[in-house]
Amino acid sequence: MTNIKIIDYKAGNSQSVQHALAKIGYTSSFARCAEDLHHASHIILPGVGSARATMDTIHDYKLSEVLAKMVLQEKTPFLGICVGLQVLFEYSPEGDAECLGWLKGSVKQFDKTQVRVPQMGWNKVEFLRDANGIEPRKDMASDDYFYFVNSYYAVPSDACDQWAIAHYGIPFTAAVHRGNIYGMQFHVEKSGEAGLRLLHGFLSHELKGGTVC
């Protein structure tokens, strides 16, 4: 039985995520404090806004400790979307933000002399491997197009954490995965059928520990 919680932080895209989940048959509710996360089967952190604003709200809502316990110790499946992916890492220069640090690595800004910033629109994503049974060629089309709005991108220290890549001037990390932790730089909730298939894959599969690389 699923008990999906969407972290409803101040600059987030929570309602769009909830609507996308409803389209594939899942009910969900918003979490605005630590108590709201109790008994969650899955946790989703949507992303609109800056890394600093996201981390400030996580701290203001006193979610840091309960998230660390549920995700890192209890292995509750977690999905970070857009900025929600970036704050999985250790540091972002966007607002000089110390982030969650669940994954090793940092965040960089696209070179404004090479590409238009932010990247806005559809971009092709290449999935490098399956992830705990979420197999791109079964649950979604390999090399599908997804919708991006981002000025920054994550640089994992461990290549095994990189799940998918896209290109915008340079190749960059489009999705990450380690054990029960997933992150998608694109807006999966705004990416049509491909995004819905990926959301369904995250919610419907039994997730195992460890990293496939």
Q: Provide the annotated active-site residues.
A: 82, 187, 189
Q: For 9, how many CA atoms within 13 A lie in the half-sphere containing its CB?
A: 30
User: Is the distance from CB of 195 to CB of 187 less than 8 angstroms?
Assistant: yes
- CA 71-75-79 angle, 5° bins: 55
Q: Tell me how far CA of residue 171 lies from CA of 52, 117, 154, 194, in angstroms.
A: 25, 15, 11, 21
CA distance 189 to 203: 13
User: Is the distance from CB of 101 to CB of 90 less than 8 angstroms?
Assistant: yes
User: Is the distance from CB of 7 to CB of 43 less than 8 angstroms?
Assistant: yes
- Closest-CA residue to 4 (of 45, 61, 47, 44): 44
CA distance 196 to 201: 9
Cis check: omega of the bond before 46, within 30 degrees of 0: no
